[in-house]
C-alpha cells in the first residue's frame, strides 16, 4: 500500500488538535477516501490523555519527519507550528480556526478557516455537509476539543455556534457539559507537579512577526498563585528558553480562569514593543492584563501589529 495521507495537528498538541485529527480522519474514511492515517506532532498532554482514555481511543501515531509526505493540517496553518519536515511535505488540505498564516501551496487545495472557538466546531459542519453520522465516541472527542479550547464555553473566542454544537455533541456523547467540562479542566493543569520550564513550554506557540521571532506560552488555571509564587524560577526558565532559541521576546500568560484575567511575564530584549502592543506596563517583568483570556484573539493580533 502506498504512503497514506496524514491528518495532523500542531506541535505541542492540545486536545482540540488531537481530537480534530482523529475525527477528521474518521470523516474522510466515511466519505470513501482511502489510505488516510491520523498523526501527531508530539506527545499528548495529561488532559488529552485523559480524553483518549475516557473515550477509549488510541492516540494518533507520532510522525517524526513529514518530509515528502501528504499532510492535512488541522487546527493550525503556519509553518512555525507544523510537524518537522512540513516545508518539504505536500499540504493537501487545511481546516483551522486561527489567523491566516504563512503556509502557501502550488496547487489549489481545500482550506476552510472559520473564526469559531474550536476546530471541532467546524468539523461538525463538515460531517453534516457529507450527511455523515457522528457516533457517540467521535462526539465525545469533538466535544472534548471544543470544551478544551473554549475553557468550557467561557473563553471570549466562544461563539453561539460553539454553544449549539456543544449541546448537540454532549447529547450524542451522553455527558453533561458542565460536569464533563469540570473533569477536563481538572486534568488540564496538575500545575504543582510541573517544573518552571514545563510551565513555560507546556502550552507554547512560536510566531514570526515581520522579522521578529516571538514565543508565547500560556498557563490556564484556577490557581495562578501556583505559578506566580515561583516567579523568579519561572523567569529564569524563560531567560533560558530565550537564549537557547534566540527569541526577540517571550511572553508567558498566566490566565485565571475564574476571574477572567491574566498576568503576563516577559523575557527577551523587546519588552518596550510588547508593552506598546499590549498597552500595558511591565513592572519587575510582570504586567496585569484585566479581561485577557485568549492568546489568539487578544494577544497575538496587537503584538503582531506592534512588531511589524
Residues near a copy of itself (CB under 8 A) are: 91, 94, 97-115, 296-297, 300-301, 304-305
Instruction: Give the shortest CB-107-to-a copy of itself separation in angstroms.
Output: 5
Query: In 3-state terms, what secondary structure has residue 61?
Result: strand
CB of 95 to a copy of itself, least distance (A): 11
Indicate the residue among 153 and 286 with the shorter CB distance to a copy of itself.
153
CA pair distance 19, 36, nearest whole angstrom: 15
- Report the nearest approach of a copy of itself to the CB of residue 273 (Å): 15
Sign of CA dihedral 193, 197, 200, 203: negative
271 by Cβ neighbours in 10 Å (0-12 / 13-18 / 19+) ranks as middle
Q: Taking the complex as a whole, how short is the minimal distance between the CB of residue 80 and a copy of itself, in angstroms?
A: 12
d(CA 138, CA 300): 31
β-partners of residue 187 are none
Q: How far apart are CA 185 and CA 199, in angstroms?
A: 16
Distance of closest approach, residue 57 Cβ to a copy of itself, in angstroms: 27
Q: Tell me how far, at minimum, the Cβ of 295 lies from a copy of itself, in Å.
A: 12
Q: Provide, rounded to whole angstroms, the least separation between the CB of residue 85 and a copy of itself.
A: 16
Buried b / exposed e along 31-43 (16+ C-beta atoms within 10 A)? eeeeebbbbbbbe
- Contact in structure between 26 and 135 (CB atoms under 8 Å): no
Pairing of strands 204-209, 212-221: antiparallel
Give the integer Cα–Cα distance in Å for 266 and 252.
Answer: 7
Q: CB 35 → a copy of itself: shortest distance, Å?
A: 19
Q: How many CB atoms lie within 10 A of CB 230?
A: 18
Angle at 53 between CA 174 and CA 154, to 5 degrees: 60
Residue 273 neighbours by CB under 8 Å, 6+ apart: 212, 249, 303, 306, 307
Across the strands, what pairs with 289? 262
Amino acid at each position: 500500500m502506498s504512503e497514506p495521507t496524514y491528518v495532523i495537528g500542531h506541535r505541542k498538541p492540545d486536545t482540540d488538535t488531537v481530537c480534530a485529527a482523529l475525527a477528521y480522519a474518521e470523516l474522510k474514511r466515511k466519505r470513501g477516501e482511502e489510505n488516510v492515517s491520523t498523526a501527531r506532532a508530539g506527545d499528548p498532554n495529561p488532559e488529552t490523555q485523559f480524553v483518549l482514555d475516557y473515550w477509549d481511543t488510541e492516540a494518533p501515531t507520532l510522525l517524526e519527519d513529514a518530509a515528502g509526505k501528504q499532510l492535512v493540517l488541522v487546527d493550525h496553518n503556519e509553518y512555525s507550528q507544523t510537524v518537522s519536515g512540513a516545508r518539504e511535505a505536500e499540504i493537501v488540505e487545511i481546516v483551522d480556526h486561527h489567523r491566516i498564516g504563512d503556509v502557501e501551496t502550488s496547487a489549489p487545495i481545500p482550506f476552510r478557516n472559520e473564526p469559531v472557538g474550536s476546530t471541532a466546531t467546524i468539523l461538525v459542519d463538515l460531517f453534516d455537509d457529507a450527511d455523515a453520522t457522528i457516533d457517540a465516541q467521535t462526539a465525545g472527542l469533538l466535544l472534548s476539543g471544543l470544551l478544551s479550547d473554549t475553557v468550557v464555553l467561557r473563553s471570549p473566542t466562544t461563539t453561539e455556534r460553539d454553544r449549539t454544537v456543544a449541546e448537540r455533541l454532549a447529547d450524542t456523547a451522553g455527558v453533561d457539559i458542565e460536569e464533563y467540562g469540570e473533569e477536563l479542566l481538572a486534568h488540564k493543569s496538575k500545575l504543582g507537579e510541573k517544573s518552571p520550564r514545563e510551565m513555560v513550554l507546556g502550552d507554547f506557540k512560536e510566531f514570526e512577526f515581520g522579522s521578529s521571532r516571538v514565543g508565547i506560552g500560556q498557563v490556564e488555571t484556577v490557581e495562578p498563585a501556583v505559578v506566580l509564587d515561583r516567579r523568579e524560577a519561572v523567569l529564569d526558565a524563560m531567560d533560558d528558553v530565550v537564549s537557547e532559541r534566540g527569541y526577540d521576546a517571550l511572553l508567558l500568560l498566566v490566565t485565571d480562569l475564574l476571574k477572567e484575567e491574566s498576568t503576563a511575564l516577559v523575557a527577551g530584549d523587546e519588552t518596550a514593543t510588547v508593552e506598546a502592543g499590549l498597552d500595558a506596563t511591565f513592572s519587575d517583568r510582570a504586567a496585569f492584563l484585566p479581561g485577557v483570556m485568549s492568546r489568539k484573539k487578544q494577544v497575538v493580533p496587537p503584538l503582531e501589529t506592534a512588531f511589524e
